[in-house]
Structure 1
């Protein structure tokens, strides 16, 4: 029997399988929308928050509880019947998308432009709630979907299937270890590969990068170029400046930063993964002003490189940089920080930490690097409020 990796001891009567008719509320971070259902009992007005997948704000649906007990603060559910649909609802282009099916995509049922509007709402709400900022947000299309007439599809260059034997393969259901057999992932690039051992070569602009076949590299083909261009345009690095490139991976940003600051400048690339660090050293070996350090970013900054720097690039994993790293960064008093974030909640939290130390959010761009899913990539520019930028 398969079990959810998040399974825990029930807290009261299970409500799984119960159905409710609801009006769907706003989109929430995580690929679902918010609704409320009556819980019964002594208080006839008591309700419970439910996070509903496969719905769109404003719709009237029948939802079915997929996780939840009487003792839980919130429940999870799927919209299994649409009673009044949104004008943004479309037929999912993938036959494996929908309640109880593959859990890889969240928004196959939503028009692509509306998907980006929903993601913008999430970024805006996280910044308002966690950083106290009310900013306009636009999620931008990034070229690279293939074929071009299948907008939002065929972009993912790495896909990991479950091997079902005899040439069959599958994908996990949402929040489950159970598998649904699929013949074709519709967001997979025609030449998508599965992670395996070995070394690959990736090209961005004039530079080639050595990267482990099972290591981190952006899965949208347009992502590396647009992220590099955005970081450079925001920071405007000048010859002779010093830069910290934190969570540097195989040296993507460090390579272009090294070009910009030139032989009189300095770039220190810090990365915690040993294999990625080894590749970064190979990718950056011809730049005399670039140094690569291996170790957890917080630990490396606590022990080394105490001098002030002009610029910082932060590209942390999903959990964000967190307070210890932010405090180490601001201690070096950079004039500007470019923060590349794959999680808007972690970004907003860390923007609030920077604000405590006199750094304001000067600019923000958001990119749809993961069409059909709830994920969104942001690049934020933070500047010191007491600094005069060029």
Structure 2
């Protein structure tokens, strides 16, 4: 799927082994494909062409026979041309899931999403039309790519705190301003609420 990217020796760190990898093409789920010592690593929080340090989610010794590992970028050593200041700080390292490309320029997000769709169609054997014509276009009134979520489910933590679950985690994390939600949803400021005992989720519609 991608040629081997440069990799450097790893070093231990609390919470998981840290690798230095270079991100390649996109994968489903908002990650990018890198390789370390011949093994595929799906990395969140990076962009094509970037070199980053990334923390593995899995224990590499326990997952020694796994076909791939998952990791989250910690530090950007060489930024790619698509990186911009994130629109949602709370979606960064150890943050909420669902905004894996918050640090990527919007035109690049659409280009990358198009590549993901094209690859899925190619793998499905679609030949009835030129796959390259499949392009992700902005929706009407979607100039900045923000404020479009009109239905949002918030998770509730053990102490009643309202937030969202972390990426590949059951832990509830703060949401901050939540710029992807519609203005009417943001105005509720649900991330500042404390839910009553027994509440498992809060839905904003």
Do the two structures share a fold, i.e. TM-score over 0.5?
Answer: yes
In the alignment, structure 1 residue 181 sits paired with structure 2 residue 174:
yes
Partner of 1:154: 147
* Alpha-carbon distance between aligned partners in 2 of 1:22 and 1:53, rounded to the nearest angstrom: 12
Partner secondary structure for residue 161 of structure 1: strand
Structure 1 residue aligned with 2:106: 112
Deviation at 1:71, TM superposition (A): 2.1
Aligned equivalents of 2:145, 2:105: Cα separation in 1:
10
Give the SS at the match of 1:141: coil
Greater per-residue strand proportion: 1
Unaligned runs of 5+ in 2: 1-14, 189-202
- Return the match for 2:140 from 128, 131, 143: 143
Conserved 8 A contact 1:96-1:182: yes
Partner of 2:48: 57
5 Å matches for 1:267-286?
none
**Residues 156 and 172 of structure 2 are in contact (CA less than 8 Å); yes or no, is this contact kept in structure 1?**
no
SS at match of 1:28: coil
Query: Secondary structure of the equivalent of 1:55?
Result: coil
Compared with structure 1, are the counterparts of its residues 74 and 165 closer, same or farther at alpha carbon in structure 2 (3 Å cutoff)? closer
Determine the C-alpha separation between the residues in 2 that align with 1:166 and 1:56: 36
Give the 3-state SS of the residue equivalent to 1:121 in structure 2: helix
Aligned CA-pair RMSD: 2.5
What is the 5 A alignment of 1:1-12? none
Q: Tell me what 1:67 maps to.
A: 58
Partner of residue 172 from structure 1, selected from 141, 165, 169 = 165
Where structure 1 has 5 or more consecutive residues not aligned to the other structure, the ranges are 1-15, 39-46, 195-213, 220-390
Q: TM-score scaled by structure 1?
A: 0.41
Distance 1:160 1:84, change over 3 A: same
Matched length: 170
More helix by share: 1
